[in-house]
Structures are given as C-alpha cells and as structure tokens.
Structure 1
C-alpha cells in the first residue's frame, strides 16, 4: 500500500481521510465481499503504514458512510449491501477514484434523465407540489448557506422526482446511486461546499417547472445539465487531490490528531 502521509503543498487533507481511501483500496485488492472480516485495527495500521489512532478514525468514517461494520467483540467487517446496492461488486466502489466516480455519474445521468422525463409525463398535482417544495427548500437553504438543510432538501427533491416517475425500480436506483455519491461527498469535500448551492437550487426549480408543465424533453435535458454541474465539481476535486498527492512530502506517517472526532461527519453539501 502507498504511504498515507500528509501532502506538502495545497489544501491540507487529514491523515484519517488518506488512510480511509487506502483501506478501501485494500478491500478491493483483497477482493473482500460484504460480510468478510478485516484484520484488527492494529493489523490494518501495520498493513497501511499508519498509526493506530489514525486507522481508528478512518474506520469510524467508513463505518459512518456505510462501508464498514464494526461489531463490538467480533471485529471489523465489510458492510453488507443495503437498499439499491443489488450487486456486491459495488462494495469495491472507490469514492475518490476518478474512474469510479465518472462511471457513477454516467449511470446517474442515464437513470435520472429518464426519471425526470417520465415524471414530466406522469406526475399528479400532489407530486408536482412535492417536487416544487423540495426545489424551493433547497433554494431557501442555499441562500441561508445552510449545508445541512440543503442536503436534506436536495435528497427530498430528487426522491420526489423519482416517486413521480411511478416506477419503483427507477426510484430505488436514484436513491442507491445517490448513497454512493454521498460517500464521495464525505471523503472529497468533507464540509466544504464545492460549488454554488444556489446554482444547484435554481436548477432544481427549473426541473420542477418543466415537470409541472409536462415538458418531458426539457425536464430530461435540465437534469442532464444538473448532473453535469456535479460532475465538473467532482472532476476538479479529484484532480486537485491527485495533484496534491503528487506533491507529497517525504514518506512519513499521518498525524494522530486529525481525525473527525466524536462529533460526527461534516455536512454533505456537494451540488447534486
């Protein structure tokens, strides 16, 4: 495994974040599946070349986003697949890999553009109102610079569009792909808004009005544009990360005081 030392230049990335990425790489390299047991914290620290404290924080982060399961007295396990993750190969999804994130966003474009198209043709008045309310709530949160509220409204908006498509498989696919994207939010953005939340919210409003007007092609096109905005932000962040890793200082160990602590993860505020 590569050494998880901090970068020397550019935005600071905490040690636990780098170790979390390398732990996901380890799971993929070992072809571990949901339910498989991992080495102990001490064993993982040795494998990854990290301190035990930083490894513990990395495990906490991955457990919080649903990639690991920590069972007291039993050990650390690859988390079981949950709703929307029908293929256990997705347990190897790498949230900070350009290749994996672009594949995810490509899939999301296919699914959500068709979902928006169908919603425009099938949404009833109650569903249209729910979609509009989600979009308006996202704008209110964006204007207040409230990342937590925006994340909730963003999820409600996309779920409402999915519900209005009147296809439980499409709705489930939308929810599943967004759960995976949220893992990238945590590990790439960790509390920073990567773009304009207000731009994303106004895109929500435009999609909502296209659905309300029954303009299926327009709703689909606007959703494609919306996801393209997300893609550009992820691409920029991943390129920044790769550049910073290239500028890393001489091999060392990540600091032991850079974990997320017990206060929980930062808000997921990526424009999505």
Structure 2
C-alpha cells in the first residue's frame, strides 16, 4: 500500500482542522499524495476505498473529496474505469502545474505574481491596440460587474468578471497572452472553491469599480495607467487569498469556542455535506 502524504509541519494545526470541512482536508491530502507519488495527468489512482485507507479517512468523505476535485478539473472519474489525474488546463501533461496546490500559500503567491505580470502587460497592450468595439465590450462587462457587485449578486458578478478579463485579453491582440490569462484564472478558480466555500471574499463593489477604472484607462489609451490599475486589482485579490489562508492556518477569524461545535464543519474522517452543484463561489477578481 502506498504511504500516506507526509504531514506538513507548517500546515494547519489539528485544532484549526476541526473547524474545516472533512472533504476539504481529504482533498488537500489527496493533492499532496498525487504530488508526492509524482502522478501525472492520465495516471490512475487507487479506488475510493484504497484512497480512504491511504489517507486515513472514511470512504464517504473520500468520495466527497474526489467529487470536489473532479468538479474543479483536477481529477477525472470514468465510470467502470476508475479515478485518474486529469489533464492540466494548458494541456501541459508533464509539467509541475499538474501538482498545483490550491490552498498552499506558496503556490498561490507564485500564481498571483505570475498573474500580475501577465495581466498587467495584457492591459498595457490593450490600451495601445484595442478597437472601439473591443473598448465598448470591455466597458459593458465592467459596468455589469459593478452593477452585480453593488447588488451582491455573486453569480452575476462572477460571469461579468470573467467576461471583463477575457475582453482585456482579446483587446491585447495576442493569442498567447489571452490563453495565459484564461489558464491562470482556471487555477485561481480552484483556490476559490477550496478556500471560500461560497463566501464572498471581499467587496465585489470595489472590484467592479476597479474594472471600470481599468476600462477607462484602456479607452483613453493610457497604457501605463492601465497596467498599474490591473496590478492593483490583482493585489486586492492576493490580499483576500492571503487573509483567508492565514485565517485557515491560525484559526483567527470566527473560531467557535471548544464547547461549541461549528456548523457545517466536519472533523477528519466524518461525512461532509456535498458542495452544491453549479458553485457560485468567486473571489473579487
């Protein structure tokens, strides 16, 4: 039998773990197991029962963890065939992106640093190259994100947010930049699912106003300003993720007293509620 993942001495304490969903803990363990075993896209994993034994969890919680990881594109479950490591978003089957850890501070900081570099340059080029139609489309999506953010409509904001960033990528007139932006956001969405659990991590209205400011800079052809505003926008997203991970690690926010069980949280090895289909989770990005 394969060895269970090595515990991370810098990871969350057992006390903090008690207030996290059981399926999230097992999902993290499973991603660590995949990395430690150097499994690559297309490799087959043990059965649910086998994984439960390796990870020291119940089969029910292991099943929920597999479902979550399949929903965010990290695993592929094929009926009658088994559980497999899914292809990475960029179809880079043999690179380290297959081992991205969505709740690791180190991995997230690297991802957001890369996003800052790519999206700032994308905004800079969009300001120089965008056509009037592309500018109008960008503004429409920015305004839609502000309207949804002001109303607290998370699902509508997420849709407008994705369309806005896609519009900036299109306006840069570089297919490689556009593809990079799309792939980065796929990875960020994995962290959204495992870290925020449907919560709104920050002000969507602030994010909507940032979209408006970026669109205005692009429309005015102010390349440096557009790049600076995009970098500041991603700084806001990074602060949200850092705060959430620190809360998770040190259990400093909303921690129940030891005598009070936390609602909708399950200790390791117990059955956790299934995440709703059609997740509405989003960071204010």
- Give me the TM-score of the superposition, normalised by structure 2: 0.88
Aligned pair in 2 of structure 1 residues 159, 85: CA closer, same or farther (>3 Å)? farther
- The answer on 1:266 being equivalent to 2:279 is yes
Q: Equivalent residue for 1:254?
A: 269
SS at match of 1:77: strand
Give the aligned partner of residue 189 of structure 2. 182
What secondary structure does 2:226 align onto?
helix
Q: 1:142-196 CA deviation, whole Å, 9 max, x = no partner?
A: 1121111111110000000000000000000000000000000000001001100
Aligned-residue Cα RMSD (Å) equals 2.4
Deviation at 1:254, TM superposition (A): 3.0
| Closer, same or farther: CA 159–86 of 1 in aligned 2, 3 Å | farther
Residues 84 and 176, structure 1, Cα contact 8 Å, conserved in 2: no
- Asked if residue 51 in structure 1 is aligned to residue 83 in structure 2, the reply is no
2:165 counterpart of 1:150: no
- Conservation of the 8 A alpha-carbon contact between 2:142 and 2:161: yes
Unaligned regions of 5+ residues in structure 1, if any? none
What is the correspondence of 1:165-244 to structure 2 with a 5 Å cutoff?
A: 165-244=172-251
Displacement after TM superposition at 1:9 (Å): 5.7
1:88 Cα offset (Å): 3.1
Question: In 1, are the aligned partners of 2:40 and 2:93 still within 8 Å (CA)?
Answer: no
Structure-to-structure mapping, 1:37-186, within 5 angstroms: 37-83=44-90, 85=92, 88-186=95-193
Q: In the aligned structure 2, how far is the partner of 1:163 from the partner of 1:260? A: 36
TM-score by length of structure 1 reads: 0.92
Q: Residues of 1 paired with 2:193 and 2:27: CA distance?
A: 11
Change (3 A) 1:217 1:173: same
**1:259 and 1:7, CA in 2 relative to 1: closer, same or farther beyond 3 A?**
farther
Q: Distance in 2 between matches of 1:238 and 1:260?
A: 22
Quick one: which of 13, 17, 20 aligns to 2:24?
17
Contact 1:58-1:259 within 8 A present in 2 as well: no
Structure 2 unaligned residues grouped into runs of 5+: 259-266
TM-fit CA distance, 1:140: 1.1
